[in-house]
Structure 1
Amino acid sequence: MKHSDSGERSAALPHGVQGAADPHFACAVRAFSKMFPGPRFGGGALSVFLDGEPVVDVWTGWSDRRGTTHWSADTGAMVFSATKGMASTVIHRLADRGLIDYEAPVAEYWPEFGANGKAAITVREVMRHRAGLSQLNGASRADLMDHVKMEERLAAASVNRVLYGKGAYHALTYGWLMSGLARAVTGKGMRRLIREELAEPLNTEGLHLGRPPVDAPTKPAQIIIPQGALKNAVLGHVVPKLAALQWSGGLGALYFPEMFSVVQGDIPFLDGEIPAANGTATARGLAKMYAPLACGGRVDGRQFLSPELTAGLIGRPNRRPDRNIVFPMAFHLGYHSIPLGGLMPGFGHAGLGGSLGWADPSTGMSFGFVHNRLLTPFVVTDQAGFVATAALIRRGAAAARKRGYRPVAAFGAPFVPETQPVAL
């Protein structure tokens, strides 16, 4: 680490932005602030850690659809597939203690998983999205809300021979594959493990699976999404049939009845345990979780993961298109990279709409970005547009290393044990 001795204070923040930032990140913070110019654009937060210390922690905008509640230090967003990074990190913590071997068959720990020809599928294959188990195979909305049932369905499922052994994004099933494996070796569900293996040792309240308890400091933001019913009789008849085909790709991995309704209203999706999609996180929580992955496994002066295991989380560049979503994701042990022209060095996991957590071991930097805007005219730009802001973050980190920096004050609640027992 390289701290500044100049007495330089936090950068002046743009109007409406709360928190603090080292001055070297002023351009990145300005770019972040412009994403939320008014209530109908929602709100969000950005956090950056350098050498495991916070150098940016800012938030702005609104956490509700009516634009009456401002985003706060403890506002969390449902981060969609960025949840996969959380679930994967739990598995790495278990592997670090010798409870899981990446090269071992999943069925060695979870015997039921060996049904229907899956006995040889390894933990590594599952974590690289190569298990051929991406399809939901007709699961209903009610099925998806029962995490134990989904684990059992996947344990009994047959492999899709078209996809097995090839990179094919397991958009929703990945989470239950991780929770089924973790439950087999610990007897605990993923919701509890995220609290015990991530939030508690990192001393952050900003990492939950599903809806945080009512009395928790973390308050989930409403998702900015059209609230009207989206129904089409023809699509309702044709889409399920297409999703059931072996070559259906991303449609088979994502489609289930009433899929839009689960993120409307009070976000019913948050009431299940969907470790691939319904994490509630603050930007600070994600950035801190990825901080040790960028710093040899250490954060807050303690070893969160061993240096050896942490070094193995960096995958090789792979530009082969994913079979389900076409874009090359280069998945390696649960995280993905962006293997295109050095756009975003490092690895992590993005979620629908653009929320993400990221680690860049080459610079010792991690960051988290969350927001609550989805399925608006801005969703495509939200998904890809953060790349430009990430470049500004990297530029700020380089300047901070050269000239020295000061960590920002701690914001948000530290870890708070839940008053009610967490279900297994």
Structure 2
Amino acid sequence: MTAIHGTCADQFVEVREALASTLDGGLDVGASVAVFLDGEPVVDLWGGYADPERTRPWQRDTITTVWSVTKTMTALCTLILADRGELRLDAPVARYWPEFASAGKDRIEVQHLLGHTAGLPDWDEPLSVDDLCDWDKATALLARQEPRWEPGTVSGYHALTHGYLVGEVVRRVCGRSVGTFFAEEVAGPLGADFRLSLTPEQDHRVAPIITHDRPRPATGRTEAAALPRTMITPEDSWGTRWRRAEIPAVAGYGNARSTAAVQAVLAGGGAAAGRRLLSEAGARAALTVQADGKDLVLGVPLRLGTGYGLNSAEISILPNPNTCWWDGWGGSLVVADLDAGMSVAYVMNQMRGREYIIGDSRGTGVLTAAYRALGRG
């Protein structure tokens, strides 16, 4: 049996069992899970290995790429700035980023960026990984192009562009990159080991992504106008340039503890671990519905809030209405339940095929066990 390390309150023993099951069954190589309740950790567990050869044990401080779970970190930065009155979510993006007004984008609002309804799911010409690592180029191209549909009317998942669009608004408002703002205003105060880019000193702690199965495409039909053409591969995350760049839709690094610790702020109505980063109203702004219907890119129904997925009829494993979530390519998952005051995170290094939405059995097993501990499973 795989050794499981860390701490787990007796009430949440099924969460430990869920992690042990995926490691012992070969579904995971290395992974971590965490549950925060009322801003405090009640589960902090890890096990397995940080490398595909299974020679390097997953440690307490091991971190890995969480892919699109990174979007929740970028979104939280924007919610904080809005709560402070430094920007308005319903204001035109061009108020803060004047160049963005070109090509018929003058009425696109900040909340449209966060809710994937801005009509900019990709660049007009596919970008290379080197281009993605060039912030000025990536954002300038987005500022010049036309939206592919009427902004604010329907969602089309902004898989890569989301981080540049939201991140550039953050940079224009506060004069700091979104990664710097996150480090100084979110991760730092919370003591959370989550980063939007890595320094060389952090490289030794990284568990490289392992590609067990190539992820399957989303079910359903992608609309031609929304068809993404900029492609990345899991192996791109192994590169030094990728790690040093800020690609704040997909290139965040953390573990379950740090992921759940940050989103515990949202679950706690703006406060966690004795630190208040948002007012209660500011936290609940994440629940404002931006889109509810078939997503043009993913081809499945999605109910989207301000930077997060929301509870819906399609997600039966989320029992409480005021719940935010997002998952990452290959399996990582974070949920912030404002009704229960609970955040749950699952982070792993072995990617597997997935079904949208919240469809990976490893993360859903952890989540279901956490809710059973609260008597909601």
Taking structure 2 as the reference length, the TM-score comes to 0.88
1:343 matches 2:317:
yes
Does the C-alpha gap of structure 1 residues 116 and 59 become closer, same or farther in structure 2, counting only changes over 3 Å? Answer: same
Residues in 2 aligned to 1:310 and 1:227: alpha-carbon distance in whole angstroms: 36
**Correspondent of 1:256 among 215, 222, 230:** 230
Aligned to 1:166: 154
1:193 matches 2:174:
no
- Gaps of at least 5 residues in structure 2 are 215-221
Does the C-alpha gap of structure 1 residues 354 and 315 become closer, same or farther in structure 2, counting only changes over 3 Å? Answer: farther
Residues in 2 aligned to 1:257 and 1:318: alpha-carbon distance in whole angstroms: 25
Residues in 2 aligned to 1:218 and 1:366: alpha-carbon distance in whole angstroms: 28
How many angstroms does 1:217 deviate by?
9.1
1:292 matches 2:265:
yes
1:214 matches 2:200:
yes
Residues in 2 aligned to 1:158 and 1:246: alpha-carbon distance in whole angstroms: 17
How many angstroms does 1:156 deviate by?
1.3
Residues in 1 aligned to 2:29 and 2:3: alpha-carbon distance in whole angstroms: 13
RMSD of Structure 2 on Structure 1 (CA): 2.7
Taking structure 1 as the reference length, the TM-score comes to 0.79
Aligned to 1:272: 245
Does the C-alpha gap of structure 1 residues 226 and 91 become closer, same or farther in structure 2, counting only changes over 3 Å? Answer: same
1:247 matches 2:233:
no
Which stretch has the larger CA shift, 297-306 or 53-62? Answer: 297-306
Residues in 2 aligned to 1:156 and 1:221: alpha-carbon distance in whole angstroms: 37
1:223 matches 2:209:
yes
CA contact (8 A) 1:168 1:322 kept: yes
SS of match in other structure, 2:302: coil
How many angstroms does 1:224 deviate by?
0.8
1:79 matches 2:66:
yes
CA contact (8 A) 1:373 1:379 kept: no
CA contact (8 A) 1:74 1:217 kept: no
Cα deviations by residue, 1:10-59 (Å, 9 ceiling, x for unpaired): xxxx7510001001111121112211237884211001011111000000
Aligned-partner residue type, residue 373 of structure 1: Q
Aligned-partner residue type, residue 122 of structure 1: E
SS of match in other structure, 2:56: coil
Residues in 1 aligned to 2:330 and 2:311: alpha-carbon distance in whole angstroms: 16
CA contact (8 A) 1:46 1:367 kept: yes
Aligned-partner residue type, residue 220 of structure 1: V
1:53 matches 2:30:
no
Aligned-partner residue type, residue 222 of structure 1: P
Aligned to 1:309: 282
- Gaps of at least 5 residues in structure 1 are 1-13, 229-244, 400-424
Tell me the percent identity: 30
Aligned to 1:396: 373
SS of match in other structure, 1:27: helix
Aligned to 1:414: none
1:202 matches 2:175:
no
SS of match in other structure, 1:137: coil
Which stretch has the larger CA shift, 350-359 or 135-144? Answer: 135-144
Tell which structure's C-alpha radius of gyration is larger: 1
CA contact (8 A) 2:170 2:176 kept: yes
Residues in 2 aligned to 1:49 and 1:218: alpha-carbon distance in whole angstroms: 27
SS of match in other structure, 2:303: coil
Residues in 1 aligned to 2:234 and 2:276: alpha-carbon distance in whole angstroms: 41
- Counting matched residue pairs gives 362
Residues in 2 aligned to 1:169 and 1:366: alpha-carbon distance in whole angstroms: 24
How many angstroms does 1:256 deviate by?
2.9
